[in-house]
Amino acid sequence: MNLHLNLLVSVIIQKYFLNSRCIIYFSEKFNSLDYTGPIPILQINVQNMNIHKDLIFRYFGCQGIIISNNLPIWTFEIFEKLIRLSSERFNTRRYLILSGNNPKENLTDIFNIKELTHISNMVIIEEYKRKRKKTTGKQYIMDQKHITYIVSTHGYVGLKNNNRRIILDFWSSNLKKFKFNNNLFPNKLLNQMGRELRMATFHYEPYSIIGSTEDTHKGSEMSVALTFARQYNMTPVPVINKEDYWGEIFTNWSGNGLLGNLVLDKADIGFGALYTWEVDYHYLDLSKPLVRTGITCLVPAPKYVSQNMQEVTKFYDNETKKKIHDG
């Protein structure tokens, strides 16, 4: 990492990562990030397309992730897949991804991958390829004296095209400051501008009653989901399975029914009298319970007790009288 980029990353850490307990830093060289702030850095060396996952998933609580190597997109994809396989949660993770030196990997291709769909906080930094002519007029060389970096993110919000690229700002190595001073990590969850909320459910009274329109959806759990969608300006879209009902999740990360729609990323949330099933926690995140339910089993009394109830009662009465007399 060159001196200019190192300074820019340090500025971003100081402003946007101080709430993180620690930062995971993916790089190819140790000590390539010169940062002396209060946030601990867990450096993961990425070489030969290999990530030492045993060093990452130790419940350190790192929610800040910086990727700075020659395969940033590959690292991002692999890390997201490893997160799904781990019981450790990274629900508030925040990415800062730097362009590498691999000519075969264009960092802007990250806006086309599926994993980005489920991330709200992501910033990428690329060097602005400004060129100037030599005196001969036949060749071009890079102006290395003053470097400008482009700071981008993805839209996330909106009814469609959620992964579109949005340029947030520019940073000048000469002036050592941003051009617009925009917020690089705005809270995209507060107003999602119509983004779809895909709700896996089925008709199951009184929890989920499917109507023909949003206004005719009913049920206690359905009402909670609709209220959530209205609160954050989302478009609720039911994902209904007419067979298998709750369904199940298989060990190969497939499934059927309501649970299958969730694990296959066909839905964002699921509800319909679901319980805190431990087996599903390995594949899904579970919310706080909304309703407590219980079952009372009524069965005939055992025959032996019924036929001998008087003898049993008499026995305990005699034992009690004996203890009193002995005392």
Higher pLDDT among residues 146 and 198, named by residue? 198
Pairwise CA distance, residues 117 & 9, whole Å: 24
**Nearest CA among 74, 78, 91, 67 for reference residue 1:** 67
Confidence of residue 44 (pLDDT cuts 50, 70, 90): very high
Quick one: pLDDT at residue 101? 73
User: What residues does 132 pair with on adjacent strands?
Assistant: 141
Q: What percent of the chain has pLDDT over 70?
A: 87
Say whether 309 sits in a helix, a strand or coil: helix
**Nearest CA among 250, 160, 262, 276 for reference residue 202:** 262
Pairwise CA distance, residues 273 & 246, whole Å: 9
Mean pLDDT, residues 40-63: 90
Burial of 73 (0-12, 13-18, 19+ CB in 10 A): buried
What count of residues does the chain have? 327
Quick one: pLDDT at residue 32? 83
Pairwise CA distance, residues 161 & 179, whole Å: 27
Q: Indicate the average pLDDT of the chain.
A: 88
* Contact of 217 with 209, CB cutoff 8 Å: yes
The domains of the chain, with CATH numbers, are: 3-178 (3.40.50.2300), 196-281 (3.40.190.10)
Read off the pTM: 0.83
Mean pLDDT, residues 149-169: 96
Higher pLDDT among residues 194 and 2, named by residue? 194
Confidence of residue 310 (pLDDT cuts 50, 70, 90): low
pLDDT tens sequence across 73-121: 999 999 999 999 999 999 999 999 998 777 677 888 999 999 999 999 9
Pairwise CA distance, residues 274 & 289, whole Å: 9
**Nearest CA among 189, 223, 235 for reference residue 291:** 223
**Which residue type does 207 have?**
Y
